[in-house]
Structure 1
Amino acid sequence: MAAALEILLHRADPILRGRIVETLSTRFDSRVDLDGFHVSVLKGLEVSGDGLRIFPPDDVVAAGATEPLIALKHFSFHANVLGLFQKPMHVGTVKVEGMTISVPPKEARRQAPKSDRHIGKIKIVVDQIECDDSRLIIGTAKPDKEPKEFYLRHIVMHNVGPNSPWRYDATLVNAIPTGEIHAVGTFGPWVNESPGDSSVTGKYTFEHADLNTIKGIAGILSSTGEFTGQLNRIVVDGTTDVPDFSLDTANHPVPLYTKFHAIVDGTSGDTYLQPVDAKLAESEFTCKGEVINIKGKGHQINLDVIVPNGKIQNFLDLAVKQQPAIMTGRLNMKTKLSIRPGDDSVTQKLGLNGQFTLRSIHFVNPEWQDKVDMLSLRAQGKAKQAKPGAEDVHSRMVGNFRMGAGRLRFSRLDYDLPGADINLAGVYSLDGNELDFSGKVRTKAALSNMVATWWKSWLLKPVDPFFRKHGAGAEIPIKISGSKGSPKFGLDLHHKDNEKGN
């Protein structure tokens, strides 16, 4: 017996190498290469190896998938010497450094001829695997897409068996926004014929993610949620909370909360949002759309956004520097939102194309509100009541707009108040330094009835017919220019019904 033990100890290296290679080859139905291997028997069996590579099944390799399915830079484990006499041999924990899992596209197998391999035996059973600095790469057959890649700082896998799910506890590194994701759940069983169809479930937490790593926005994000599916298609349900979300056009932090249902297509790297229920300060809205992976460029975001009954001041606080917001009111909006890929600021890449309605409008600046109130009274022919401090009027604004490169362009901007309809088109810059609108004011009263003194009214009566058009008491061309701090209002005597917003 002693002689047999001594022989086995001297032959432990080739025995264990053979067991590892045969077990993995049988488990994954594929070729296994191992560059370096070492066994020490001074303190039991101390085993280590380098350059372990597990290739896809032969039929997938024949289709062109030449990269290893799983590659390990280094692994090690400890076992009892008596394990050499046991089949299968039992190992408690295997420690791994630098693991890369490359899942080939599902299409690779469909293009490959079937092949038969010799089926060996499982000669080593492992309870737990601990991995540091690992990568999961989900390949794609689409030439215009980048592979989907995840970096795992640390992962522990329990109950590592061939026919049941593995429990895992993982820490993933998220590049943009920067932060760590902690996830626990189950993985597998591993599907040899199509690894991308291997099941995955779990719960995650994502805390202290710095949005400053995305040019143009700021805030600290936290997120929790659950996910389920296969590596090729994962369904995620979760929430995000950013108590201090801001855009660089304003730098005014506003709380932003979302609840989302998303589908991650591992074969393309695209994400589909179906939907996102969000709340910006006191304003609720919903989004549906997609985040498209564009090879070599990044991501294109396309969303349909609906704001059913928000507060305009919440959105102005987020987007416009001027404080307080120039107006309050109830907002109904439908818009298509897009963010193109690239290195520019989010606000420079952001595009909007939609329609909105504002109700119960009130201008925060008392002088602006007085001008609106007095305009309404004059337009109704109540010129003598048109004085500062008059009762606020109920007004409504409707518009069609496009936004890009930090500017809002209105092809239509209709402002309705008692006695007057104001129809404008023009441009407003988000930094507030540019106002350029032109259009018409249509009033119920004639021009001569909009002045308080009898002699001014008498002087204006001869010109009433020139301004009385299209059923209005007066139709007056106007223009608004200047900036947010110094707007200039005047007559646009050269108005030619141009549409500046187009």
Structure 2
Amino acid sequence: MNESISDLTVRKHRGMWGWILISLLIAVIVLAVIGEIVVHRAMPILKGRVIETLSTRFNSRVEMEGFSVSVRKGLEVAGDGLRLYPQDEVVAAGATDPLITLGHFSFHASLSGLFVKPMHVGTVHVAGMAIHIPPREMRQQTPKGQRHLGKIKILVDEIVFDDSKLILGTIKPGKEPKDFELSRIVMRNVGPDAPWRYDATLVNAIPKGDIHAAGTFGPWNNESPGDSTVTGRYTFDHADLNTIKGIGGMLSSVGEFSGQLNRIVVDGTTETPDFSLDTANHPVPLHTKFHAIVDGTSGDTYLQPVEAQLGGSEFTCSGAVVNVKGKGHIIDLDVNVPAGRIQDFLQVAVKTTPVVMTGRLRMKTKLHIRPGPESVSKKIGLKGGFTLEQIHFTNPEVEDKVDMLSLRAQGDPKAAKPGAEDVHSEMVGEFVMDAGRLRFSKLNYSLPGADVMLAGEYTLDGERFEFEGKVRTKAKVSQMVASRWKSILLKPVDPFFKKDGAGAVIPVKVSGTKSAPKFGLDLHH
């Protein structure tokens, strides 16, 4: 009897668990069917909302290659190959590329979002976005005030972009589109009529480094996307100038910018504690403060102006960095050095150690750097004039020769000995620099008792001096020798050298290598 009751109890429990398992299985099947129905109905609903929201927001045609929805964790939405085209009039004007393309996007929302309009989305993740702003000339074809008759059906708090780019188009001959690589952007408060806050990292190819920027963007201008407003502050750290052939150093920069995508005004500073050129490889600290305008329609940058300090020398420059299609950039600047030190410029440009001379420098010159793969030192060109004051030659032998020349030219040859007191001298010149050479059409060197007028060239590697000219002296030839007998013997030749009110005009030649130039008479003249 007891066994029968026990068997009955076991059978009842087994029957109960069987019904529970069957019920769970039925529930799973029902949920799966419901989920399938939800996905089946949610997919066209959500796809329509995405397309209508974007079409309304950007007033343009929208295409999408792939779209999927999952309900495993609420609503998980993903899409591929999304394209937004410019307005029809802009396309008709020739802007056939999509205005915006998205390689892939995804976002998560609650199931209740299907029944709420507009749907609220926290974060949208986007990969492989490209924004292609048509040239201004094409955008001007757009009728003002026309808007797409749709509704914003999805509101987004934040969009995260990875591996994106911004391309500013141009139809100007000889120009290439301006291409900005954007490794990561986070946009917040993405509303239809207010600026969006962003935090972005831009990839800078030359000099190589990442630029971090944060600020506001928009509102997006449907009729003219290139006129959409952008503001922000940026930092650019550890930019390797060695990626520019012929230049060395590590640059850092901070600043702020504002304007439109196709015309951005930038104010900032740069610090390069070890700036160098390959003509010398002598690091010199370089600091700049600049005001620049970036024209996105052409890729050109206008510097207005740059205030710079190289070592202990302050100078300014203004001009343009012009984009040349398929070649790179042409740099044209007007440079003004009101009160610099010649040793700072010689140290950065010339290999000779120590620098040939020190002194106070005033200079105005036009700087031109042509495009091309060569080193900057091979492409750079200068043309201008300068004045040097308080000149001192760092080579004691050279300085002694200058000091003794001054004493002889004043008619005091007996005092012209090594170790004589340094004289104050001045140099005025007009020059052209290219292909690593300095050519002087005029090089006038004045010191007590004499004026030296030369022309010639000097290679920046310090390997060759070659100058010819004349020395005008206060004293006669016979008065410039210490020996009484030599002075008497030279008196007959005084008339041959006495010219134009000078005691003597003597042809000279300066030649040599490195830091050991040689001075002598030019007997051919």
- Tell me if structure 1 keeps the 8 A contact 2:87–2:142: no
Give the aligned residue type for 2:157. D
Asked if 1:206 corresponds to 2:247, the answer is: no
Q: Which residue of 2 aligns with 1:32?
A: 62
Equivalent of residue 414 in structure 1, options 444, 450, 454: 444
- Tell me if structure 1 keeps the 8 A contact 2:228–2:261: yes
Q: Which residue of 2 aligns with 1:127?
A: 157
Q: Which moved more, 1:114-123 or 1:192-201?
A: 114-123
Highest CA radius of gyration, 1 or 2?
2
Residues 1:463 and 1:267: Cα distance change in structure 2 (over 3 Å): same
**Alpha-carbon distance in structure 2 between the residues aligned to 1:369 and 1:205:** 47
Q: Deviations over 1:331-379 (max 9, x none)?
A: 0000000110000000000000000000000111111111111100000
| Within-5 A mapping of 1:427-442 | 427-442=457-472
Asked if 1:362 corresponds to 2:392, the answer is: yes
**Alpha-carbon distance in structure 2 between the residues aligned to 1:200 and 1:389:** 65
**Alpha-carbon distance in structure 2 between the residues aligned to 1:6 and 1:407:** 78
TM-score normalised over the length of structure 1 = 0.96
- Count residues with an aligned counterpart: 494
Q: Which moved more, 1:3-12 or 1:221-230?
A: 3-12
Using the TM superposition, give the Cα deviation of residue 138 of structure 1 relative to its aligned residue in structure 2, in angstroms.
0.6
Give the aligned residue type for 2:93. A
Q: Which residue of 1 aligns with 2:514?
A: 484
Q: Which residue of 2 aligns with 1:71?
A: 101
Using the TM superposition, give the Cα deviation of residue 7 of structure 1 relative to its aligned residue in structure 2, in angstroms.
4.4
- Tell me if structure 2 keeps the 8 A contact 1:62–1:113: no
Asked if 1:348 corresponds to 2:384, the answer is: no
Asked if 1:277 corresponds to 2:307, the answer is: yes
Give the aligned residue type for 2:233. K
What fraction of aligned residue pairs are identical, expressed as a percent? 72
Give the aligned residue type for 2:107. F
Give the aligned residue type for 1:45. L
Using the TM superposition, give the Cα deviation of residue 109 of structure 1 relative to its aligned residue in structure 2, in angstroms.
3.0
Aligned-pair Cα RMSD in Å: 1.5
Q: Which residue of 1 aligns with 2:27?
A: none
**Alpha-carbon distance in structure 2 between the residues aligned to 1:110 and 1:256:** 43
- Tell me if structure 1 keeps the 8 A contact 2:234–2:254: yes
Q: Is the partner of 2:340 in helix, strand or coil?
A: strand
Asked if 1:494 corresponds to 2:524, the answer is: yes
Q: Is the partner of 1:143 in helix, strand or coil?
A: coil
Q: Which residue of 2 aligns with 1:500?
A: none
Q: Which residue of 2 aligns with 1:498?
A: none
- Tell me if structure 2 keeps the 8 A contact 1:8–1:84: no
Q: Which residue of 1 aligns with 2:138?
A: 108
Q: Which residue of 2 aligns with 1:373?
A: 403
Asked if 1:299 corresponds to 2:299, the answer is: no
Q: Which residue of 1 aligns with 2:284?
A: 254
Using the TM superposition, give the Cα deviation of residue 110 of structure 1 relative to its aligned residue in structure 2, in angstroms.
2.9
Q: Is the partner of 2:190 in helix, strand or coil?
A: coil
Asked if 1:179 corresponds to 2:209, the answer is: yes
Q: Is the partner of 1:472 in helix, strand or coil?
A: coil
- Tell me if structure 2 keeps the 8 A contact 1:136–1:149: yes
- Tell me if structure 1 keeps the 8 A contact 2:144–2:223: no
- Tell me if structure 2 keeps the 8 A contact 1:59–1:114: no
Q: Is the partner of 1:67 in helix, strand or coil?
A: coil
Give the aligned residue type for 2:449. G
Q: Which moved more, 1:379-388 or 1:423-432?
A: 379-388
Using the TM superposition, give the Cα deviation of residue 8 of structure 1 relative to its aligned residue in structure 2, in angstroms.
4.1
Q: Is the partner of 2:486 in helix, strand or coil?
A: helix
Give the aligned residue type for 1:252. H
Q: Deviations over 1:245-281 (max 9, x none)?
A: 0000100000000000000001111000000000001
Structure 2 stretches of 5 or more lacking a match? Answer: 1-30
Q: Which residue of 1 aligns with 2:247?
A: 217
Higher helix share: 2
Q: Which residue of 1 aligns with 2:419?
A: 389
- Tell me if structure 2 keeps the 8 A contact 1:309–1:331: yes
Equivalent of residue 146 in structure 1, options 163, 176, 180: 176
Q: Which residue of 1 aligns with 2:475?
A: 445
**Alpha-carbon distance in structure 1 between the residues aligned to 2:145 and 2:446:** 75
Using the TM superposition, give the Cα deviation of residue 116 of structure 1 relative to its aligned residue in structure 2, in angstroms.
6.1
- Tell me if structure 1 keeps the 8 A contact 2:395–2:515: no
Using the TM superposition, give the Cα deviation of residue 115 of structure 1 relative to its aligned residue in structure 2, in angstroms.
10
**Alpha-carbon distance in structure 1 between the residues aligned to 2:432 and 2:334:** 14
| Within-5 A mapping of 1:318-329 | 318-329=348-359
Give the aligned residue type for 2:486. K
Q: Which residue of 2 aligns with 1:332?
A: 362
Give the aligned residue type for 1:108. M
Using the TM superposition, give the Cα deviation of residue 117 of structure 1 relative to its aligned residue in structure 2, in angstroms.
6.5
